[in-house]
Each structure stands twice: as structure tokens, then as C-alpha cells.
Amino acid sequence: NAGVTQTPKFQVLKTGQSMTLQCAQDMNHEYMSWYRQDPGMGLRLIHYSVGAGITDQGEVPNGYNVSRSTTEDFPLRLLSAAPSQTSVYFCASGLAANYNEQFFGPGTRLTVL
Amino acid sequence: AQTVTQSQPEMSVQEAETVTLSCTYDTSESDYYLFWYKQPPSRQMILVIRQEAYKQQNATENRFSVNFQKAAKSFSLKISDSQLGDAAMYFCAYRKGWSNAGKSTFGDGTTLTVKP
């Protein structure tokens, strides 16, 4: 049971480039979410999903797309990277039945030059 | 929108002593959950303790306990017998209701230093 995995761990992009951050979970969790953490701040919700085929926006969705074609995977796409998207990105998953506890991946540190 | 405020950017405690981290939140909901997460330098988010709003009894997990004051919308974390391994960033988080398992609102965190 690997829990929540994220790839890559580190990434450097140039302004305007696109990329996909991968997130996978093997716990059959219904809910998956993407957060970003800027220096000195807490996590802010980008997008989330309540099940395969269902996604919705969080607090800071601009510049990001998501899809959820399977229960296991929830990739986050940066369409045209900007320096303001330099951050640490966390993926999380959870079950509604488990006191709403979320399990977090190890994070991806993204730098946009 | 819900907000979570942690008014102490930094705290320090002597090893074996007790420290309390503060958290206040703003919500008009009656059904919600509150959490404290620990983030060590490894960046991994670790759940420390959780509290269901409908429970009057304060949650306790070993050396960690909370003081949940629902009317005051306050949710503080007490760490007893502090250990060097407790040094980390601590985040308070709020989640509304049963159907919002994917949506949490976090405070900006408190960095805890433990002095030997």
C-alpha cells in the first residue's frame, strides 16, 4: 500500500511551458484534492474531485486544469507556467466515511523561472 | 467563506515543557471538522489530532490535546512533555460537513521550535 504518490518531486520550468503533475492513490479513496503551499503560508485548495468524472474548483483554480478519469489518478496540468505558480504542490485523498481525514502525498516543489 | 487564523507565526518551548498553539476560525455552519496537522522539514503533512464539532469532549491523542471552544470558535492545540521531534510547522484546518472531505481551509501555520 503506497498511499498517495506524487511525481516529480522537483521541477523547474520556464515561463510559458506546460506540464502535468501526477498524483495517484491506491486506497480506493473517493475524494482527491490539489493544494499549493507558498512560503510562510498554509495550503490553499486548487481543485478537488469527489469521484471519477467529477471535479470542481477550489480557492485558487486559475492557470490549472484537472481531470479524474479513474479513481486512482488525479493529474494537475499547468497550461502556461508563470512565476506566480512557483510553489509546493500537495495532492491529498480521503474517504467521507473516515471522519473526513485527508492523506497527503510528499509534495512537488515547482520553480518557474 | 470560512477563514482560519493562527495568530502565532512562531513559538518555542523547552524540552519536556508544555506549549499551546492557538487557532480561531470563522464559520456559520454547525456541522464541521477541525484538524491539526504537523509538517516537519520533510514537508510531509501528518495528521496530529481531529475534532468533530458535534462532540463536546475535547480530543486527546497521547501528548496532544485540544481545547475546543465552539461558541468562541477557538481550537487550540496543547503539546505536553515536548520532545525534540515535535519541532515542525503546525497547521490548523477546517472542513465543512460530511460531504466536503476534499475541501479544507488551512491557517498560515505556527513554527514550533523545541529547545534542548
**Cβ distance B43 to A106 under 8 Å?**
yes
Q: What is the mean pLDDT of residues B7-34?
A: 95
The whole-angstrom distance between B89's CA and the closest CA on chain A is 10
**Cβ distance B47 to B61 under 8 Å?**
no
Q: What is the pLDDT of residues A54-86, one digit of tens each?
A: 999 999 999 999 999 999 999 999 999 999 999
State whether B43 and A107 contact (CB < 8 Å).
Answer: yes
Nearest to B101 among A43, A90, A100 (CB): A100
The whole-angstrom distance between B35's CA and the closest CA on chain A is 9
Instruction: State yes or no: pLDDT of B80 exceeds 70.
Output: yes
Q: What is the mean pLDDT of residues B2-31?
A: 95
Q: A23: which 3 cell numbers?
A: 498524483
Angstrom distances, CA of residue B39 to CA of A19, A41, B89, B90, B91: 26, 12, 5, 6, 8
Q: Which residues contact B54 (CB under 8 A, 6 or more apart)?
A: B30, B31
Rg (C-alpha) for chain A, rounded Å, is: 13
What gap in Å lies between CA B107 and CA B53, rounded to an integer? 18
Q: What is the pLDDT of residues B81-105, one digit of tens each?
A: 999 999 999 999 999 876 666 788 9
Q: Cβ-count burial of B74 within 10 angstroms (0-12 exposed, 13-18 middle, 19+ buried)?
A: middle
What gap in Å lies between CA B112 and CA B89, rounded to an integer? 6
* pLDDT value at residue A99: 62
